[in-house]
Chain A
Amino acid sequence: MGVEFEPRIIAFMCNWCTYAAADTAGVSRMQQSLNVLPIRVMCSGRVSPEMVLRAFRAGADGVLVMGCHIGDCHYSNGNHRTIKRMPLLRNLLGYTGINPERLELQWVSGAEAPRFVEVTEAFIAKIRQLGPLSQEVME
């Protein structure tokens, strides 16, 4: 191989909480890896299961769906949909040959920039250990 595997992670972030946290993390000069590729959506409730699968098909090694904490949703209860959809999708991922661990749902509020870094770094480390998705699917 020679070159070390660098996971490519698509992170869906809601506009109001997690995107703001990511912004704050950047402005606060927090140390972060470059593996997270942010996709801004208005609400984590906008992230349909199909969108997650399209991200994997496009070559993502992991997908993070991130939104406001339950009760803090800018749209009152959009994240209530997300919290039902994502675990269901995780259960189904196994059937497609994708390790369910490659999909994670995390709540990060706008004030939780340190938590944003913590969560993304942990996820990157996990995916790094799992290896590239292409390898997994071929096996």
Chain B
Amino acid sequence: MSITLTIDGQSVQAEEGQTVLEVAKRAGVTIPTLCYHPALEPLGACRLCVVEVIQRGRSQIVTSCTMPAEPGMEVRTSTPAVMESRRTVLELLLSRCPNVPVIQQLAAQYGVTEPPFEADDPNEKCILCGLCVRACNDLVGAHVLNFSDRGISRVIGPAFMEKTRDCIGCGACTIVCPTGAIEIVLEKEALYAAKPLGPASAIYVPFLQAVPRVPVIDTDACIRFRQQARTNGELADACGVCQLLCEARAIDYTQQDEELDIEVGAVVVATGFADFDPYLAPQYSFGKSPNIITGIEFERLSNSGGPTEGEILTAEGVPPKSVAILHCVGSRDKHTNKYCSRVCCMYALKQAHLVRDKTGADVFEFYMDIRAPGKSYEEFYERVQEEGVHFIRGKGAEVTVQPDGKLLVKGEDADLSRVVAVSVDMVILGTGMTAQPDAAEVSHLFGIGCGNEGFFTEAHPKLRPVETNTDGVYLAGTCQGPRDVPDTVAHANAAAAEVLALLTKGEVVISPATAEVNRDKCVGCGDCIPVCPYTAIARVDGKAQVNAALCKGCGTCVATCPSGAIEALHFTDEQIVAQIEGVLKWV
């Protein structure tokens, strides 16, 4: 049911059940609030949202957050009476909390600069609006916070003001609190772990290019899922703010991971890489200071969609004056990964360029050699050199956190033949690419090879770079080995082309070198069946039979057969013996 009312002379439509505040907000009329939150039941506690309502010829001052909109109602939001009321409210609020910026600003807007009364406690921040109480009880369902005592001794807190295990540390109270009166106190490490350079919210778009580009819910961080898990499903409807506020009604908490069975003609394995775990190189003190970050964390920091909107800041919130970038973290090192990760030199140079460009800080690059073999890469390296980056030829040996929080980077300058140490504000670890931790499982799943490093093996390093030893399974990108974006795109395009070639051909060519059973000799012992890696042998009518379409001709069954009943075509016993005798005859 739509109803019509007037706000500041403007005729507006409203739904029945909406409050005056909601209607005004939608109509673009600003009404100051402190204790209002769209996801919570209004309480009318702060009294800032007062407006004048004229109904049936009578005028009254009411809180707009609790006043239901009614047909024919006339609302005025800035009459002298309203302004006077708000001024009084702000005088009292400022008297209670003289040092809260939000209140100071609001008060200044209404011409209140000095509190008329002296504060009991000049550091008081809580205005007793009860937003946190409502969030904790109605949204989170933790029932930790509530009012206690009465009158001037009224306070908000947990029962008996004691620590309680019922608090799940969700932080909802700190988010809704308008005056910043609540802080979450965490141990230092927990604080660092809780504030990585990752998403700040439990619901977020994974990354800007995500397909589909929709938000996902991190169920480990989401209050609703956490409360569900904590209470074994008893409390299933906690929070729900995102669902309540989503106008498209797109949020569905009941969605589950699904397993789909799909029949396909080819598979492209593109499982990517894992960032090298910097804790495995403890000499770089990763985790001991929030200003020691990995390359990928720096990417997040310098991204305009990141936590600092692209500003390069230390954990203290100021631009660094000096930054050290360490190459080959976890790469080209017999203690970690022996191989060169290929992309790190170039990304480290790019990051040096970004730091110089955005902050002008001194940048020290600790490197063994710069590997810049791509198109225009060497030129970029020269450009970064010209930008005044200090290149120190020698791997960074150690990073230590100084008592004043600065970071001391030690290394050997091979050009000067001496040990150097620089004190910097931020250290970027040029972590390399490693195989995904579950690469071995994936390789077994598809029957494809996997080298010692965990990268999948291509059928031939030069001639068949995207095929695997298993027909129909192709590789794309860094799951096969470290490579940068252009190379990955080329590799992936090649894999797609191979797949199309396979699928459009309509038939599959197989090697004629397969195993064949001589049924007269076969005694049906079945020894050959378990040794076949391709399950190509079955017992048919009591004797072994090879499925030539599955057989790859390895010949393991031939060597296994106790009665010599299986022959590997093109590699028969006779042929091999003839070769042996032949070569021995002539030498």
- Which chain A residues have a beta carbon within 8 Å of chain B's beta carbons? 6, 8, 10, 34, 37, 39, 41-43, 45-48, 50-51, 54-55, 58-60, 71-78, 81, 85, 110-111
Contact = CB atoms under 8 A, between A and B. Distances in A.
B449 interface: yes
Contacts of B554: 42-43, 45-46, 74-75, 78
B398 interface: no
A75 B556 contact: yes
Given A45-B556, A72-B457, A110-B461, 4 more contacts: A42-B555, A43-B555, A54-B577, A58-B581
B513 interface: yes
22 contacts: A10-B580, A10-B583, A34-B587, A39-B579, A41-B555, A42-B568, A46-B554, A46-B568, A47-B559, A51-B576, A51-B577, A58-B577, A58-B580, A58-B581, A71-B450, A72-B449, A73-B449, A77-B533, A78-B533, A78-B554, A78-B555, A78-B556
B237 interface: no
Contacts of B553: 42
A58 B581 CA distance: 6
A41 B571 contact: yes
A37 B587 CA distance: 9
User: Size range of the interface on B?
Assistant: 20 to 34
Given A51-B577, A72-B449, A74-B469, A46 B583 contact: no
B573 interface: yes
B42 interface: no
B571 A46 contact: yes
B584 A81 contact: no
Interface string B485-520: 000000000000000000000000000010000000
A42 B552 CA distance: 9
Contacts, number: 90
B585 to A, nearest CB: 8
A34 B587 CA distance: 10
B306 interface: no
Contacts of A47: 559
B214 interface: no
A73 B577 CA distance: 24
Contact of A39 (B555, B559, B580): B580
B559 to A, nearest CB: 4
B199 interface: no
Query: When A and B form their complex, which 6 residue pairs have the shortest distance between CB atoms, in order from nearest?
Result: A46-B555, A45-B556, A48-B559, A75-B554, A43-B554, A76-B533
Contact of B584 (A50, A60, A76): A60
Nearest to A111: B461
A133 to B, nearest CB: 11
Contacts of B314: none
Contacts of B423: none
A24 B68 CA distance: 85
A48 B558 contact: yes
Interface string B435-457: 00000000000010111100001
B576 A41 contact: yes
Given A42-B555, A42-B568, A60-B580, A51 B449 contact: no
Contacts of B449: 72-74
A113 to B, nearest CB: 13
Contacts of B583: 10, 37, 39
Contacts of A111: 461
Contacts of A43: 554-556
A111 B554 CA distance: 20
Contacts of A48: 558-560, 573
A54 B559 CA distance: 13
Nearest to B560: A81
A31 B461 CA distance: 24
Most buried by A among B533, B571, B573: B533
A72 B440 CA distance: 12
A78 B556 CA distance: 6
Contacts of B414: none
Contacts of A50: 573
A55 B578 CA distance: 10
B531 interface: yes
Interface in B520-544: 531, 533-534
A66 to B, nearest CB: 15
Given A39-B579, A76-B447, A10 B584 contact: yes
Contacts of A72: 449, 451, 457
A10 B568 CA distance: 20
Given A8-B587, A74-B469, A85 B559 contact: yes
Contacts of A58: 577, 580-581, 584
Nearest to A54: B577
B457 to A, nearest CB: 7
B587 A45 contact: no
A111 B460 CA distance: 11
Most buried by B among A42, A47, A72: A42
Nearest to B559: A48
A118 to B, nearest CB: 19
A51 B576 CA distance: 8
Contacts of B560: 48, 81
A45 B554 CA distance: 7
Given A39-B579, A51-B577, A72-B457, A8 B556 contact: no
A15 to B, nearest CB: 9
Pick the most buried of B450, B513, B576: most chain A CB atoms within 10 A of its CB: B576
A10 B552 CA distance: 25
Nearest to B470: A76
A42 B447 CA distance: 18
Chain B CB within 10 Å, residue with most, of A8, A58, A72, A77: A58
Nearest to A12: B576
Contacts of A51: 559, 573, 576-577, 580
Contacts of B533: 75-78
Contacts of A60: 580, 584
Nearest to A63: B580
Contacts of B559: 45-48, 51, 81, 85
Contacts of B580: 10, 37, 39, 51, 54-55, 58, 60
